[in-house]
Structure 1
Amino acid sequence: MKKLVVLTGAGISAESGINTFRDAGGLWEGHDVTEVASPEGWRKNRTLVLDFYNQRRKQALTAKPNPGHLALADLEKDFEVVIVTQNIDSLHEQAGSTNVIHLHGELFKVRSTLDESLVYDLDGWELKEGDKCEKGSQLRPHIVWFGELVPMMEFAVKEAIQADLFMVVGTSLLVYPAAGLMHYTPRETPKFIIDPKLPEIGDSLGLHFFEEPASTGVPKVAELLRKEFL
């Protein structure tokens, strides 16, 4: 069974109604991202950061997987699918995908501010001041903020190196280190880029471009993969 590695970005979640900050000039729900997505922002105004992610969770609870998510999950019938996502929502899992690497963390998980290995599933949508880990420290969103290391990148690179097929869905390929993931794939690996605003990455060997949203582009590429590579 061929290994298909898929890098997904904000575009696929936006089609399910989850807002992205990059479409608003670096503002996220009216906030500069450094206020709500950085260690400095957390130290400066913990209440604001907690409320911001509480609101993101409330919004995410109303979102449902779209045909793009569902088509990726369905590909597991015919391929070994590994999804590497820049998104913090759980829409891939809701759609049925079973092997998902979250590069930037997970919205419905929280972790200790004292020991980052202590990660917990959040019951509900609200994380409050005074909610503490077993070691007595305040819990924070389990999100990789700007300026922090991306610990899951190492696992994503290992998968990309082994990819027989590679797909990019709904990302500008501007956010590093995720944007560099494609360069770890074997040179001969066919690569499929799906986005209504195609990123400028040249026209090298093995690149196939689909200038359309994930909800229509992914099912189309899924059909192509089954026809050409099974």
Structure 2
Amino acid sequence: MYSLIEKAKEKIRKAERLVAFTGAGISITSGIPPFRGPGGLWSKYDPSILDIDFFISNPKQSWKYIKEIFYEYLLKDVKPNPAHVALAKLTCPVITQNIDNLHQAAGSEDVIEFHGTAQTLVCMDCSKRFNRNNIDLSVDIPRCDCGGVLKPDFVFFGEQIPKDALDKSFMLAQICDVMLVVGTTGEIMPASQIPIFAKNNGAFIIEVNPNPSNYTGGITDIFLQYKAEEVLPKLVEGVKDVR
């Protein structure tokens, strides 16, 4: 019997413009829990600590939790898992909602970080960016050379998606003929609209998720109900340099 995995491999192999779209689920095996759902970060912390207005008004308190969540716990010593490595072998563009830099660490070169990244900090005054490894995070409020407050370079609640990431993501969704959707529930706007936009522009949607998502009963053409690290290495066997 021609399995769904084999069918998905064939679609990927024949794709002229493959694009991957990833969410929190791809990084769980690397030790990064999701933000939402049982055991998610927001079951332990108040999401308002990442509200931009709260950050501006209370940078010291906000940074206390940012350091605790992201730099001392969530992203400390994390490494790519087999799912990240498998996607890197496809050499296709990757649109990710994640801020963990694991796609780049696995070798993916064309990564659109839709929600930004925790790897850099940006000055709230002059917009200068710094690698977070070059900034002393032991102080109460990390600051720029100009004296401005530094903020992690990812999207806080109340902030807009970076225009370049937004424009490139929807451009890729418009022109791709196959989109590989991995580890996302399809709940967070406007990122959730990217696979829908791709489908509406003729793309074939392959979804990898251990549980059905908002896409599964609607736009998904092939639903592979597996963990990403289990099935993605199988999908890339014999498939090379799909762009």
Same fold? TM cut 0.5: yes
Is the 8 Å Cα contact of residues 60 and 141 (structure 2) preserved in structure 1?
no
Number of the residue aligned with 1:13: 27
Question: Which residue, 122, 128, 131 being the options, matches 1:121?
Answer: 131
Is the 8 Å Cα contact of residues 110 and 122 (structure 1) preserved in structure 2?
yes
How many angstroms apart in 2 are the aligned matches of 1:120 and 1:112?
8
Query: Structure 1 residue 209 and structure 2 residue 200: aligned?
Result: no
1:23-172, aligned counterparts within 5 Å?
23-24=37-38, 27-28=41-42, 30-34=44-48, 36-55=49-68, 56-59=70-73, 60-76=75-91, 81-116=92-127, 118-123=128-133, 127=137, 128-151=139-162, 152-172=165-185
Alignment deviations for residues 124-148 of structure 1 (CA, whole Å, 9 cap, x no partner): 6753345322432111111101121
2:210 alignment partner, SS class? coil
2:170 alignment partner, SS class? helix
When residues 75 and 129 of structure 1 are mapped into structure 2, their CA distance, relative to the original with a 3 A threshold, is: same
Q: By how many angstroms is 1:44 displaced? A: 4.4
How many angstroms apart in 1 are the aligned matches of 2:121 and 2:101?
14
Question: Which residue, 188, 195, 206 being the options, matches 2:202?
Answer: 188
Q: How many residues end up aligned between the 2 structures?
A: 222
Letter in 2 for 1:74: K
Q: By how many angstroms is 1:122 displaced? A: 1.4
When residues 136 and 223 of structure 1 are mapped into structure 2, their CA distance, relative to the original with a 3 A threshold, is: same
How many angstroms apart in 1 are the aligned matches of 2:233 and 2:206?
12
Residue ranges of structure 2 left out of the alignment (5+ in a row): 1-14
Q: Runs in 1 of length 4+ with deviation above 6 angstroms? A: none
Relative to the length of structure 2, the TM-score reads 0.81
Is the 8 Å Cα contact of residues 216 and 223 (structure 2) preserved in structure 1?
no
How many angstroms apart in 1 are the aligned matches of 2:88 and 2:216?
29
How many angstroms apart in 2 are the aligned matches of 1:91 and 1:206?
25
How many angstroms apart in 2 are the aligned matches of 1:83 and 1:38?
27
1:185 alignment partner, SS class? helix
How many angstroms apart in 2 are the aligned matches of 1:58 and 1:3?
39
Query: Structure 1 residue 222 and structure 2 residue 233: aligned?
Result: no
How many angstroms apart in 1 are the aligned matches of 2:126 and 2:19?
31
- My pick for the range that moved more, 53-62 or 135-144, is 53-62
Residue ranges of structure 1 left out of the alignment (5+ in a row): none
Number of the residue aligned with 2:186: 173
Which structure has more relative contact order (CA 8 Å, sep 6+)? It is 2
Identity %: 30
